[in-house]
């Protein structure tokens, strides 16, 4: 498989993630959509690393993206739990009411 196949897969995954984030009001679905977009970036990085296998920069960046995704999931779930305790819902319609 060529790089174009991986890029097509990554663009489809990113599009699904972006559409899920923009159209859904459920905060948990939005967090999963962000994770899907980050995984599509990982596919792109590994695809370009496959072109030049002697250079491992793509794989190193993938590890950083995975670390960022893990931190984002932990912080996002903490915010989700705090929001649920206050509003008793995970819909993001009333999230703007939390700012002072």
Residue 100 binned pLDDT confidence (cut-offs 50, 70, 90): low
pTM to 2 decimals?
A: 0.83
Tens-digit pLDDT profile for residues 13-54: 999 999 999 998 888 999 999 999 999 999 999 998 888 888
d(CA 90, CA 99): 16
What is the set of domains in the chain, with CATH numbers?
A: 3-94 (1.10.287.3510)
Closest among 27, 21, 22, 23 to 79, alpha carbons compared = 27
37 within 8 A of 21, measured Cβ to Cβ: yes
**What separation in angstroms does the CA of 36 have from each of 32, 39, 98?**
6, 5, 27
Instruction: Look at residue 87 and give its three-state secondary structure.
Output: helix
């Amino acid at each position: 498989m060529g790089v174009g196949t991986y890029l097509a897969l990554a663009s489809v995954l990113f599009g699904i993630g972006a559409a899920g984030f923009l159209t859904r009001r459920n905060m948990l679905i939005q967090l999963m959509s962000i994770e899907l977009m980050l995984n599509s970036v990982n596919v792109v990085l590994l695809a370009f690393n496959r072109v030049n296998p002697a250079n491992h920069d793509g794989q190193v960046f993938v590890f950083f993206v995975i670390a960022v995704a893990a931190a984002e999931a932990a912080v996002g779930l903490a915010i989700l739990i705090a929001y649920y305790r206050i509003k008793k819902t995970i819909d993001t319609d009333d999230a703007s009411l939390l700012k002072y």
